[in-house]
Structure 1
Amino acid sequence: MSTLDRARRRLKAHPLALDAALAAGVLLCMVVGSFVDTQGEDGVSWGIRTPDPLSLVLIVVGAGALVARRRAPLTVLAITGTASLVESVTGDPRAPVAMSAVVALYTVAAATDRATTWRVGLVTMGVLTGAAMLAGPLPWYAQENLAIIAWTGIGATAGDSVRSRRAAVQAIRDRAERAERTREEEARRRVAEERLRIARDLHDVVAHHIALVNVQAGVAAHVMDKRPDQAKEALAHVREASRSALNELRATVGLLRQSGDPEAPTEPAPGLDRLEELVGTFRSAGLHVEVARADQGAALPAAVDLAAFRVIQEALTNVQKHAGTEAKAEVSVVRVGPNIEITVLDDGRPGDLAGQDGGGGHGLLGMRERVSAIAGTLTTGPRYGGGFRVHAILPVRSRTAVRSETA
């Protein structure tokens, strides 16, 4: 930081001291100017003219009022203007008392708006100039009288320019602050969306595999004594389900790693190409699942493919949790125009399926959020005569692309 910058900061931190220094400088200039005779034979003479005592008093009053120019600019202008008016009418009109009024007018213009500057500036200029021309001892066309117009105009213009510059700088700062706040809000929104997405993935992974582990562990405990071979098979399924859960949890949590972490997962997200594998895990847990596909095996966008997989996974997990392994589930994947429709039906008892909405879990909520994120629709509810139905419509292509193709 340079010496000039440090001095500027100190002056800004003590505005009263700065105003006192300014008042002292104006006082010195007015006192010196009152002793200078510009009408001498040699041009400028020193000590030839001595100002009236009243002029010296008015000079001190005008300069002293400038100390309070920031706190009460209009009041200070009234005091300095009155002193200048008295000087121009009764005193020596060549004493530069009007300098204090010019500084006060500059302060008013810098501290108020442009309309106030125009009104106050014109009144000050008109009163001081008119009084000097009409009631002063000098001729109306004297240069001292004409100088009042010039100096008051300069003071008002300079103050208005400073005020305009300050307003422009403040506007730039406000825009920068708003832009910074907007960036921070956008960053917070993206973080919240990413946290919600990761929470949905964690819920889908944990709910699916833990439900399988729970069922298979129950089967193993039930047949451990009578049918140890079947118990070993159930425990093998438990081990496989837990291994799959750990792998998917590792892949999901890996998204939280830094981008430069070499251990970040590179395996693609699951999709409908792993539907048979997914259904196989439920079948191995004892749930009877039938699959019907009429999607022509078309490639889907990654977000749509993942959403379809997760909807089926969560729906079948709910069937197993709420309807038991004795229920039967049907999964259909159908391509209808620009959309792909996912339907999961089961024949569980109505009392068993009521918990899907009222159990306080996040399964159906997570499905709705996931489907809504890709502009799809999800409908869920009990079936007539028992069971539950989950139906999702996922847009494969945007509506704009469809309209362009049909045009």
Structure 2
Amino acid sequence: MIARLRCRLRVRPWAADLAVAIGCFLVATPVAASMAYLRHSPMDRAVSGLALTCVPLLVRSRWPIPVVAATVLVEVARYLVIPYSTPPPAATAVALFTVANRMDRRTAWLAGVCAAVPLVAAILISHPSPPDLPQALSQIAWTLLGVAAGDAVHSHRKLLAAALERAETAELDREAEAARRVAEERLRIAQELHDVVAHHITLVNAQASVAHHLMRTDPDHAYQALERIRDTSRTALDDLRATVGVLRAEDDSGHPRAPSPGLGELPELVESFRHAGLDVTVERSGEPFELSSLTDLTAYRIIQEALTNTHKHAGVRTARVRLAYRPDRVRITVEDDGRWHAATGTGYGMIGMRERVKAVGGTLDAGPGPHGGFRVDAELPHRNGRKGGS
């Protein structure tokens, strides 16, 4: 009900001004009549003078400063014409309230001071006796009361607007943060699935080619290749199921609750590529140490993706993996001596490697090797590692 009334008054400001003028007159009339009775002054003059001071309030929304000046002039004229009638300047207080509510604080208080001075001077002229001095000073309190009330309402409205703006900004920030996290989660899931699926599909494709080539000339070896296809397919399904399970089981901290592959599974990874026809050699230097789970997974995925790309695109049968352990980092190098077609494939694997390395604070360099072939060189930082084998 109140909200509906406010909406109507905003649409029709003249109605609000009329209501304020009438309300001011009705509230101040008993006070003016009582003071006229106590001072033995004509009551009709007191009431009519009060009505005249309320007339400028009909346009207070359109011209707040001129309305203050008009009410002050009428009040001063009333004090001078009716010497014994000194009711409080209610209309001036309402006009000053409007100024303080709609304008800046400096303008409002300046208008209040400028209104109080002529009112006090008019009462001192019409009532020069010392007993009337408190009555004259009370005009200052009434005018400044209107300014203070309007300034308080104005400040409260600004605080509410600022709080509402902060709430809207916070809501937008939360939505943006949620969208960013969703995008990051989708990218991370896509990277995991790409690494798992691309690796096993590449091996299945290579083993199927071997089986097709040997089916007529060497059925025994073709049968062994089919067995490897079966085993690789089963492993692919198990890895895919495990990957999805790990992604579903992750908590809010982003650390998986189930074990993820790392350099400890490097021998099995290398052996799977050897069965697919890629001769992979592994070299280690330095004293091995235990990596964090995220860095260990990143190292494993880099080697897996690099060997997968070598087998798919390089057209070679040999690849080399080097692990160089340093006190504060581990360097991973995967290189071959074949040919590299940069336009081959979608490039998601290379993008995934760069994103993984960036996530752990490492560096990645990939491109043609100094003696031909292709080379992937990554350095991953070691933080809080413990001595041990990998």
Q: TM-score, with normalisation over the residues of structure 2?
A: 0.85
Q: Which moved more, 1:55-64 or 1:223-232?
A: 55-64
* Equivalent in the alignment of 2:186: 195
Cα distance per residue 1:256-314 (max 9 Å; x no partner):
53779xxxx96411000000111111001000101112354421100110000000000
Provide the alpha-carbon RMSD of the alignment: 2.9
Structure 1 residue ranges without an equivalent (≥5)? 1-5, 402-407
Q: TM-score, with normalisation over the residues of structure 1?
A: 0.82
Give matches, 1:8-407, under 5 Å.
Answer: 9-15=3-9, 16=13, 20-37=18-35, 40=38, 49-52=42-45, 56=47, 58-91=49-82, 94=85, 96=87, 98-134=89-125, 137-139=126-128, 142=132, 144-255=135-246, 257=248, 267-294=258-285, 296-324=287-315, 326-349=316-339, 353-355=340-342, 359-397=345-383
Give the conservation status (yes or no) of the 8 Å contact 1:108–1:117.
yes
Structure 2 residue ranges without an equivalent (≥5)? 386-390
How many Å apart are 1:187 and its aligned residue? 2.9
Give the conservation status (yes or no) of the 8 Å contact 1:62–1:97.
no
Q: In structure 2, do the counterparts of structure 1 residues 258 and 129 end up closer, same or farther at CA, with 3 Å as the change threshold?
A: farther
How many Å apart are 1:168 and its aligned residue? 3.4
Q: In structure 2, do the counterparts of structure 1 residues 205 and 39 end up closer, same or farther at CA, with 3 Å as the change threshold?
A: same
Q: Which moved more, 1:138-147 or 1:297-306?
A: 138-147
Q: In structure 2, do the counterparts of structure 1 residues 174 and 34 end up closer, same or farther at CA, with 3 Å as the change threshold?
A: same
Q: In structure 2, do the counterparts of structure 1 residues 271 and 117 end up closer, same or farther at CA, with 3 Å as the change threshold?
A: same
* Equivalent in the alignment of 1:3: none
Structure of greater relative contact order (alpha carbons < 8 Å, 6+ residues apart): 2
How many Å apart are 1:72 and its aligned residue? 4.1
Q: Percent identity?
A: 44
Give the conservation status (yes or no) of the 8 Å contact 2:335–2:375.
yes
Cα distance per residue 1:96-151 (max 9 Å; x no partner):
472111111122122222211221111111132224434xx433753553332221
How many Å apart are 1:165 and its aligned residue? 3.2
Cα distance per residue 1:298-350 (max 9 Å; x no partner):
211001100000000000001001123x421011112012100101111113x
Q: In structure 2, do the counterparts of structure 1 residues 295 and 250 end up closer, same or farther at CA, with 3 Å as the change threshold?
A: farther
CA distance in 2, matches of 1:114, 1:50: 38
